[in-house]
Amino acid sequence: MSSPSKHFVVNFWGVRGSIASPGVGTVRYGGNTPCVEMQVAGHRLIFDGGTGIRVLGQSLLAHMPVKAHLFFTHSHWDHIQGFPFFVPAFVPGNQFSIYGAIAPDGSNIEQRLNDQMRHPNFPVPLQIMGADLKFLDLEIGKPVQVGEVTIENAPLNHPGQAIGYRVNWQGYAAAYVTDTEHYPDHLDENVLHLARNADVLIYDATYTDEEYHSPTSSKVGWGHSTWQEAVKIAEAANVKTLVIFHHDPLHDDDVLDEMGEQVAQAFPNGLMAREGMTIHITPLEIPPTEAIESVGVSV
């Protein structure tokens, strides 16, 4: 995975939901919780700080000093638990702008990250981090401008609040929509807005329709969606590439392989998120005569 360039690249460092799930059954797709990095127009944008951000941090040590913008969807454990192990945040000279919305209880993202690192939960406090950390309260519905890049946000349907993001640059767009539950009678207008004509839509499809509506263990009200609903959104929003994300910890590699086949049949440009996967939204850095497609995927 390369350092930021003038291109639009999406890197997946953690794709699992709810709890980190390492083991022999999750080798191919990965067991780390959410962390997605976008390199856009020379800027590094990081979405969520699940356990995947620890792995990202290790890779960034070869590219210091590091300057990045970190956007949190919300502060449920699986989305923040990697932040205390994000080594670049401990290194003086690095700079991180950290964004999050005010929670329903009135706390901001700095307070919530601080609380998880307080005794008796963690041995060292957030204040020991030596990098320049700038915490910014995100206003829901108000875009953030990072150079030429515009980052939109919108509220999602999730217990305790979560927000989704859309990154725009020179007519290209990638939407990061995780921890959201679909509605039974209509498509979520906020999700459709974030996903509109996107080159890439990363969508929370923790369950299948059968699991979601299970008569014995229903997942209705748990705050997550299904791959079938992801396809509906992708088709309605004219999405180019759909990425199924936030895999259930009970879904091992074989289950996700089977799900991936079903997704591809329903939406030909549908992919299952894997740790280490890279999506090039803009053409690869190769001669124009060799650049066939604007969206390329590598693992």
Q: To which H or E segment does residue 231 belong?
A: helix 227-236
Strands 200-204 and 172-177: parallel
Average pLDDT, the chain: 94
pLDDT band at 285 (very low <50, low <70, confident <90, very high): low
pLDDT band at 283 (very low <50, low <70, confident <90, very high): confident
Instruction: Write down the pLDDT at residue 6.
Output: 76
94-137 pLDDT, tens digit each: 999 999 999 999 999 999 999 999 999 999 999 999 999 999 99
Cα 232 versus chain centre, distance: 20
Give the pLDDT confidence score for residue 297 in this predicted structure: 75
CA angle 26, 30, 31 (to 5 degrees): 80
pLDDT attached to residue 9? 97
Contact between 72 and 78 (Cβ < 8 Å): no
Tallying the residues shown for the chain, one arrives at: 299
Strand partners, 154: 164
Q: Given pLDDT bands bounded at 50, 70 and 90, which one contains residue 291?
A: very low
With H, G, I as helix, E, B as strand and everything else as coil, classify residue 274: coil
246 closest CA partner among 8, 19, 9: 19
Cα distance between residue 25 and residue 250, in whole Å: 10
For 143, list phi and psi in degrees, rounded to 5: -65, 155
Instruction: Name the DSSP letter for residue 267.
Output: S
Q: How distant is the alpha carbon of residue 210 from its chain centre?
A: 25
In the chain, what are the helix, strand and coil shares in percent, each to the nearest 5? Answer: 25, 30, 45
In angstroms, the CA 151 to CA 263 distance is 28
Give me the mean pLDDT over the 47-72 stretch.
97
Q: Are 21 and 34 in contact (CB under 8 A)?
A: no
Burial degree of 154 (CB within 10 A; 0-12, 13-18, 19+): buried
Chain centroid offset of residue 280 CA: 16
15 phi and psi, to 5 degrees? -130, 0
- In which element (H, E) is residue 101 found? strand 95-101
Torsion of CA 26, 32, 35, 41, to 10 degrees: -60
> What is the mean predicted confidence (pLDDT) over 80-95?
98
Q: Say how far apart CA 11 and CA 2 lie, in whole Å.
A: 10
Structural domains for the chain:
8-290 (3.60.15.10)
Q: Which of 80, 74, 82, 34 is nearest to 57 (CA)?
A: 82
Q: What is the Cα–Cα distance from 80 to 64, expressed in whole angstroms?
A: 23
pLDDT of residue 284: 67
What is the C-alpha to C-alpha distance for residues 255 and 210, in angstroms, rounded to an integer?
14
Q: List CB contacts of 259: < 8 A, sequence separation 6 or more.
A: 208, 227, 244, 251, 272
